Amino acid sequence: MVSVLFAVIALTAAPALAQSSYTPLDLDACEVLKVYEEAGGADLRCPGHGGFDVFVSEGDARMDVDFGVRNEVFETFSAFNSVGKTVEWLEDEDGVQAAVLRFLIDVDGRSAEALVVSKVGLRDAPGCVVAIVDAAAEQANGVARGLGAMAKFFDCGSDSVVIVPGARGLVADFSGANQ
């Protein structure tokens, strides 16, 4: 019930965000923090926006992305996935609050895209995934921005990730900390 209420409030709060900024996400230009030889994955730190880094972890052909500081929880889709090349940073009068990143999901010849809205983490309060929007949905970008407007009120320790109704199977099959 809290998730539905959060989604409804978020959809009406989009004007609260003053602006969006965009930065590229070039994984080849990121600093390698750790390599997992056996699993074939790595942890990366990439340049972000407004002093916030982007942390990308890859393992078993699935990706987890954190903004600001690393969150030790691996939040991703069950199906194989990769990330898009652009991060949208959502800011209000208090600064950067959320980030939106496109995930490309592909398994067994089926594919989908999702917009993942994340709360930007701080040293004493790591961020988390706030919402999942099927990128094929009508007004998907606007819905993602509306949910991002509420990110600063999202409690990563207790609120459930909002999967916007109508999300197709691959998009709805998300494994987050608060699922």
Measured between alpha carbons, how far is residue 161 from residues 3, 37, 93, 146 in Å?
7, 31, 24, 14
DSSP H/E element including 116: strand 110-119
pLDDT for the residue numbered 11: 47
Measured between alpha carbons, how far is residue 125 from residues 100, 109, 128 in Å?
19, 38, 10
Structure token pair of residue 144: 């993602």
Q: pLDDT, tens digit, for every residue of 141-159?
A: 999 999 999 999 999 999 9
Segments of the chain scoring below 50 in pLDDT: 1-2, 4-14
pLDDT for the residue numbered 18: 63
Are 89 and 54 within 8 A, CB to CB? Answer: no
104 burial level (CB within 10 Å; 0-12, 13-18, 19+): middle
pLDDT for the residue numbered 63: 96
pLDDT for the residue numbered 40: 83
pLDDT for the residue numbered 168: 78
Domain edges within the chain? 2-25+76-175
CA neighbours closer than 13 Å in the CB half-sphere of residue 10: 30
Neighbours of 1 (CB within 10 A): 6
pLDDT for the residue numbered 171: 85
pLDDT for the residue numbered 37: 86
